[in-house]
Structure 1
Amino acid sequence: MTLVGFLVLLVIAAICGAVGQSLAGYDLGGCLVSIVVGFIGAYIGLWIAGKFGLPRMFEISIEGKPFPIIWAVIGSAIFTVLVALIRRATAGPRY
């Protein structure tokens, strides 16, 4: 994978992570955290889709490597909600 392809992949993951965090209503951090949340969300979303036999929807191919946009957003939202619940349970509600 070239540098340009890798940077495009990072930008797409950041957008998916940010949208997932917005849907969950909880912000985990800045741009780098959004990239990580986007990649984790893609794995979670594809795992859920595989378990329920759902099709891969709206994939973007970057240099031959597919990135599932819809499942990344859904997985990012689920991951963000889980992290928010764990934080709230351990640290208490925010003021």
Structure 2
Amino acid sequence: DLLSTQQSLAVNLELYAAAAHDARYRNITTQWMAKTQHALQLHFDARTAQLIDDIIEGATIRRAMSHPLPSIEETRAEARDALSRLLPQAKPTK
């Protein structure tokens, strides 16, 4: 779980930073993002899936940069709240 510890959050952010600076790592992040999009698109249209992924990524970065570190439960609750505000308008594909 990428949100479980400060160390796992740091590794997640370090991978993104490496990909931003070195094209050799972009293939890893591109594949990772594609798998995330595919999983979300099993339930939502492509644009909604992208927005959901953006919210999740934003919550992850915010959590990693916060001091003190919010609990994983607080972070998930914030992400659920944000999604519930958007998803009443979304049309699940399945």
Same fold (TM over 0.5): no
Identify the TM-score tier after normalising by the shorter chain: 0.3 to 0.5
More strand by share: 1
TM-score (norm 2): 0.33
